[in-house]
């Protein structure tokens, strides 16, 4: 299912979008974003998930000029990592 960011009042909420374009309101994900220099680290999980639980998807978005590169913790986009390791996980 594709996902998109829905913004309102300056707060971003990643939501899953159904195939017909409607928003699946039961699937909002909690998001942690940390900016460090030219990189933004992002962790997403189901609401109520503790940061120590291995249930997070983590990515690193790095900008260089007009280029934006996304890499994933442990080289994959699985929801199987603890967000406590957001800044120290290996990304590829």
- From the number of C-beta atoms within 10 Å of its C-beta (0-12, 13-18, 19+), residue 79 rates as middle
The tokens of 88 are what? 């120290």
Cβ atoms of residues 29 and 48 within 8 Å = no
Mean pLDDT calculated for residue range 1-7 = 39
18-65 pLDDT, tens digit each: 667 665 555 577 889 998 989 999 999 988 889 999 999 999 999 888
67-79 pLDDT, tens digit each: 889 999 999 999 9
Confidence of residue 10 (pLDDT cuts 50, 70, 90): very low
């Amino acid at each position: 299912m594709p996902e998109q960011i829905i913004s309102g009042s300056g707060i971003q909420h990643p939501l899953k979008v159904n195939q017909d374009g409607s928003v699946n309101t039961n699937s909002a994900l909690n998001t942690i974003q940390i900016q460090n220099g030219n990189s933004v680290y992002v962790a997403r999980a189901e609401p109520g998930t503790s940061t120590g639980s291995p249930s997070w998807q983590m990515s690193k978005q790095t900008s260089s000029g007009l280029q934006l590169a996304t890499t994933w913790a442990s080289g994959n986009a699985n929801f199987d990592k603890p967000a406590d390791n957001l800044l120290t996980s290996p990304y590829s």
